[in-house]
Each structure stands twice: as structure tokens, then as C-alpha cells.
Chains A and B, each alone.
Chain A
């Protein structure tokens, strides 16, 4: 959905550029989380190395926040900015609700890894759906 948005001609160059950066960083975070999980589960790397690998995905996530922040600062269309803000709130809210629901059913510590990947997916998909619906309503 994110990569489709990067090619959407209805989006401004700023929106396409921001989506491309956001999507790449999200992919990087998911890959890093998977590598950290695999290292902890199957390899013989030291505990300190596992801790470093566990912390590394925080960097692309912080960069994702920076990309969104830069986009909101540079977006000159105040109505679109409002729609993006609302979509982000939907994404954050849905992720929190999903987390609460997941914590009620998943007591296995291994589920934590999937919860983080799942968080990124739920947030992105919900925010993109909310933005698409709002843009459709505004047609």
C-alpha cells in the first residue's frame, strides 16, 4: 500500500518522497526485528549482542517519526495536514487497542517479538486506510 502510494500521481512530490522514506524505514525495522528474533532463538551469539540487536530496530522507528514530523512541517496544504494527523491518530489508537487485545491472549514471551512487528503493520495499515477513506470523502 505504501509503495503503491509512492507512484500515485495524485500525491505531491513531498507526499511521494515521504511515503517512500517511511515505507523503506518500516521495512528496515521489520527486517531488523526478524533478525534480532532469529538471533535470539537460533544462534549462539552472546547475550549482549542479542540485546544490541533487540535495540537496533528502535533507530528506524525513530527515523520514521522524524520523516512524519518533517512531512507535517513541510506540507503547505492545511486540510491535507489535518487528514494526515487524523489518520495517524486512528493508526495509534487502533494499535493501542490491538495491543491490549493481544496482551489479553498472548502470555508467551515469544509473542512479544511478533507483537512489535504486528504493531508496525497495524499502525501503517490503519493509518493508510483512514487516510484513503477521508480523501475519498473529501472528493
Chain B
């Protein structure tokens, strides 16, 4: 799953550690999500949405759908 986490984080000048602290997860988790090696659970995705004041689909995008509207 692709995501805009790195961009959103950079816009706010947050390091991975800053974001990890705000999410109450490890920095490794943030890195794994950013690089697409780990897809977060729904509660963590909602937490990200709330933190960046964005909807989940504005942060994450299914690679299979290629950016088209969700079914």
C-alpha cells in the first residue's frame, strides 16, 4: 500500500522519531509504514488521519486500485 506519510511529515518538519512519539509507537514502526513494508491497522490509520487532519484515503492508497476510487 502506498502512502503520503513522508510528505505529510516533511510538511510539518517532523522527524520519524517525532511522529513515532505522537503516535506512541516505535520509530521502526513509522519507518516500516513509510517504506510500505508494513500496513498499519485501522486504529493506527485513524490515529494518523486525526494527527494529519486528513481522511485515511488521503494518506493511504491501494496499489491495486492505482489511485482510483475505492470499491
Contacts and interface: CB of A to CB of B under 8 A. Distances in A.
Interface of A: 76-80, 82-83, 135, 138-139
Q: Which 10 A-B pairs have the closest CB atoms?
A: A79-B29, A138-B28, A77-B25, A77-B26, A79-B38, A79-B32, A138-B32, A78-B41, A80-B26, A77-B29
Chain B, interface residues (CB within 8 Å), range: 10 to 19
A78 B24 contact: no
Interface in B9-56: 24-26, 28-29, 31-33, 37-38, 40-41, 44
Interface of B: 24-26, 28-29, 31-33, 37-38, 40-41, 44
Nearest to B41: A78
A81 to B, nearest CB: 10
Contacts of A82: 38
Given A138-B31, A138-B37, 15 more contacts: A76-B25, A77-B26, A78-B25, A79-B25, A79-B26, A79-B28, A79-B33, A80-B25, A80-B28, A80-B29, A82-B38, A83-B28, A138-B32, A139-B28, A139-B31
Nearest to A78: B41
A78 B31 CA distance: 13
